[in-house]
Amino acid sequence: MISVSELIKENIKRAVKSLYNIDAEDVNVEHPENESFGDFASSISLSISKDLRRIPIEIAEELSRELLSYKLDFESDSSYYPIFFSIEAVQPGFINFKMSQEWLKQQLTNVLTSNSSFGSNNIGSGKTIIVEYSQPNPNKPMHIGHSRNNFIGSSLSEIFKFCGYNVIRMNYMDDWGTHICKSMLMYKKYKDGEEPSGKPDHYVGNLYIMYEKEHESNPTVLDKELLEMFRKLENHDQETVELWQKIVGWVYEGWVTTYQNENVVFDVWTYQSEHTKGGKDIVNLAIEKGIAKKDETGAVVARLGKYGIPDKVLLRSDGTSIYITQDTQLARDNFEKYKFDKRFYVVDCRQSGYFVQLFKILDLLGFDWAKRLYHISYGTVSLPDGSMSSRLGNVVNADDVFDKLVDLEEDEARNSLKDVSNIKETSRKVALAAYRYGMLRVDSKQDIIFDYSKVTKFEGNTGPYLMYSYARAKSLLEKAGIKEEVNFNLKLFEDLLLVEKETLILRGIYKFPEIVLKSANNFMPHIVANYLYDLAQRFNSFYADIPVLNAKGEEREFRLVLVKCFAQVMKNGLMLLGIDVVEKM
């Protein structure tokens, strides 16, 4: 089915052709920022006025008259209804389109027939996308910076799925290197044989901090011990390998809870330790192709200066591999296995330069899929007194934030819920909504300064606000005894006059599919987040003003359908942000 904005565009082209005999190329049709101007607006008259040597407003008037004469309508149940309520020319030369009440009401059938898939599309059908995200180092617990990554990556994955893509959510563990050996060394020296007390990833993280502290006072000895341990690991010394397995195993064990709490899931886990051998033949290929050269120390360096990009070392002078060595291999393996249409790397903005290098090298190597790689760069998460550093121990752990939010939410819920039987489950969901929405509502490019006092607010532009609007809607439906299936026939409501606050919700609802598309095409979850907030505001304002259960006859019936559709859109949208709704809170 053709969208209204396409329909408007086509008819504008038709009108321009018939009145002025011009083939209009780019007809601009958009939603006016101020909704009182109408549902759609076009500035076509402003852009063609120069060629026509006419005043824009006159053109707009002629065009709107022409468009009205087309008497565009739609069919429902073998009756015909007008699509537009009005088409008006306005200074300085806009044409404003207001949809008819019938058309607005009819939009609800789209929600009622699609339900949980309302808003979805199939632009991605038959295409595979890899979203690589999270990528924490398995030597410490995750902090709030990882949470932001997790939320962006998992939300984008949901949005892509909703657009019909086959999405592979991939976690890539950097589990091989001296950074892991730091915790291992401390364990061996001081804690050998001990079982972790508390959450095991936190236990390992403390070993890591212990190393950094000791390193300050005794760097030379410790450096030597560390390299010795890594050398043993590389040589597959059995005792060291077992220790390595034990340490990273504890961290993974701890992360299970963190990922569950954050509602973050992966389809594929892949490990750097599995790619230590691969990648070196790509380096050789780079040398063959003249992209990279061995320098006097023996290190292999990709020469990128002529592209205005800094040179990049591909292999250390001692012949061991570094991150990029494995990363080139991983990308190639992934392409051979999945033939991806796009591959996303969700990594914070500090790695932007690295990805420019990586993508350029793969491009120069002649891999035509290098064009399909995207770095989803997001701003850093820091604290009011500066950036976090695991080394110094001044990080805010993701688990601590989540636990604190759950506690606060439990207090809140005890005050408002009569039935507290599943208060735990509810509190966890609302707490996560606060956390996820707080991170997802701003453009990913923005840096975030994490402030407890703001995250722990459950009022205003927050996740709980959205959840609350949904719970209120569900409460109305429950009291009215509305079942899952609802019949809606425009004919029953064709004489019903909509009030302004109903219209506002209808306008919100019909825009949802466009929002999903825009969010997917721009890789921006915050577009969905901001839309949902706006929709929730419309609903709450309606709720405060307009009776539903106490309305009579078809008015009551219609409003219940409207509330049901609102709830459905809210649920679908929150799902795209990785947030589960609750019926009561």
Partner RNA sequence: GCACCCGUAGUUUAGUGGAUAGAACGUAGCGUUGCGGACGCUAAAGUCGUAGGUUCAAGUCCUACCGGGUGCACCA
Looking at residues 347 to 406 of the shown chain, list those that interact with RNA (rule: CB under 7 A).
349-354, 379-380, 387
Among 155, 272, 334, 503, contact with RNA (rule: CB under 7 A):
272
Does position 287 bind RNA by CB under 7 A? no
For RNA, which stretch binds (CB under 7 A), given 191-199, 318-326, 359-367, 482-490?
318-326
Q: What's phi and psi for 76, nearest 5 deg?
A: -145, 120
For RNA, which stretch binds (CB under 7 A), given 205-213, 222-230, 274-282, 455-463?
455-463
Query: What are the start-end ranges of the H helices in 198-350?
Result: 200-217, 219-234, 238-261, 280-288, 323-338
Does position 266 bind RNA by CB under 7 A? no
Report helix, strand or coil for 483. Answer: coil
Q: What's phi and psi for 166, nearest 5 deg?
A: -85, 110
Task: Count residues near RNA (CB under 7 A).
Answer: 98
CB 447 → RNA: shortest distance, Å?
5
Euclidean distance between the first and the last CA atom of the chain, given in angstroms as a whole number: 39
Site for RNA in 160-189 (CB under 7 A): 174, 177-179
List the strands of the sheet with 166-173, edge to edge. Answer: 268-271, 166-173, 128-132, 342-348, 373-378
Draw the binding track, 136-165, toward RNA (x: CB under 7 A; -: no contact): -x----------------------------
268 vs 334: CA distance, rounded Å: 11
Among 335, 402, 512, 533, contact with RNA (rule: CB under 7 A):
533
DSSP label at residue 273:
G
Among 3, 416, 422, 489, contact with RNA (rule: CB under 7 A):
416
Draw the binding track, 421-440, toward RNA (x: CB under 7 A; -: no contact): ---------x----------
CB 100 → RNA: shortest distance, Å?
18
Does position 19 bind RNA by CB under 7 A? no
CB neighbourhood size of 177 (10 A): 20
CB 83 → RNA: shortest distance, Å?
18
197 vs 178: CA distance, rounded Å: 24
Does position 412 bind RNA by CB under 7 A? yes
Does position 43 bind RNA by CB under 7 A? yes
**Pair 166, 267: CB distance under 8 Å:** no
CB 229 → RNA: shortest distance, Å?
15
CB 128 → RNA: shortest distance, Å?
25
Draw the binding track, 480-519, toward RNA (x: CB under 7 A; -: no contact): ----------------------------------------
Site for RNA in 48-107 (CB under 7 A): 50, 56, 90, 92, 94, 96
Does position 457 bind RNA by CB under 7 A? yes
| CA dihedral of 402, 404, 406, 412, whole degrees rounded to 10 | -140
| Angle, CA 167 vertex, CA 161 and CA 172 arms, to 5° | 135
542 vs 64: CA distance, rounded Å: 32
Encode 417-428: b = buried (16+ Cβ within 10 Å), e = exposed.
eeeeeeeeebbb
Does position 264 bind RNA by CB under 7 A? no
Among 527, 532, 561, 581, contact with RNA (rule: CB under 7 A):
527
Radius of gyration of the chain (CA): 29
For RNA, which stretch binds (CB under 7 A), given 78-86, 195-203, 335-343, 409-417?
409-417
By C-beta, is 123 or 301 nearer to RNA? 301
For RNA, which stretch binds (CB under 7 A), given 79-87, 115-123, 333-341, 410-418?
410-418
CB neighbourhood size of 89 (10 A): 20
Closest by CA to 70, choosing from 3, 1, 10, is: 10
Q: How many residues does the chain have?
A: 585
Closest by CA to 93, choosing from 131, 132, 120, 54, is: 54
61 vs 509: CA distance, rounded Å: 30
Site for RNA in 202-261 (CB under 7 A): none
By C-beta, is 244 or 533 nearer to RNA? 533
By C-beta, is 196 or 211 nearer to RNA? 211
Site for RNA in 557-576 (CB under 7 A): none
